[in-house]
Amino acid sequence: MPAERLGRWLARQGIASRRGADELLRQGRVRVNRVPASPSGQLIDPDRDLIEVDGRQVASEQSPRRYLALNKPLGVVSTVRDPEGRPTVLDLVPDGAGLFPVGRLDRDSRGLLFLTDDGELSQRLTHPRYGASKTYRVRLGQPISRRQLQELREGPVLEDGPTHPTAVRPEARGEVLFVTLREGRNRELRRILEKVGSTVLDLERVEFAGIRLGTLPPGAVRELSRAEVARLRREAGLG
């Protein structure tokens, strides 16, 4: 097998997302042939080198990848572990070893989230370059005005830069919006709505990369079908 970047290889083995693998390297938790790995990454030969994370060997032959859909409830954080001891999405999965969430929903938001051990797919679904769509159902404190709708559709400018034009469909006399985004900034939708003067009462992700939440109950998980996984891979540009 040809040489490969360590961080990318760790992500492909499902140890973490690509960014998560880089963080493991920075924290000094990865060793190559019993020697701490370079924090900036290095080339490895997976067939010859001994790779360890937290003292445990990472084998190049892994069990089949896992792909789960989760309906994240309110009050749960979208991380593998939380230093404050708050419940995480992995607490909702009976056998969640090796899984990590794809993208994030903040603690006060709910709805569709993916859990997987496929680092490459996770990286692509959350990278702005690939523009995976995310649709949210938002309940507002007051009906939205025509001016506010126009501002949303044009893409308001936030403190971290302009946003892309947004697809918005109002319902319930403007008190409920279905909003589709293709970026992944922190709390982006809440900040966009705040920018145009709207108050969010409830925010639920109902679709991600073409996969719908459907009737999955809050806190429940289900395996994605082969067709759904194939669709995610197409959305991520993986064929």
Show which residues are catalytic. 106
Residue 112 in tokens = 């569709």
User: Would you say the C-alpha torsion 168, 201, 128, 122 has a positive or negative sign?
Assistant: negative
Cβ–Cβ under 8 Å, residues 156 and 174: no
Cβ–Cβ under 8 Å, residues 36 and 29: no
Alpha-carbon distance of 234 to 221, in angstroms, equals 23
Q: Which ranges of 13-129 would DSSP assign to H, the alpha helix? A: 18-26, 119-126
Query: If you ran DSSP here, which 8-state letter would residue 153 be given?
Result: H
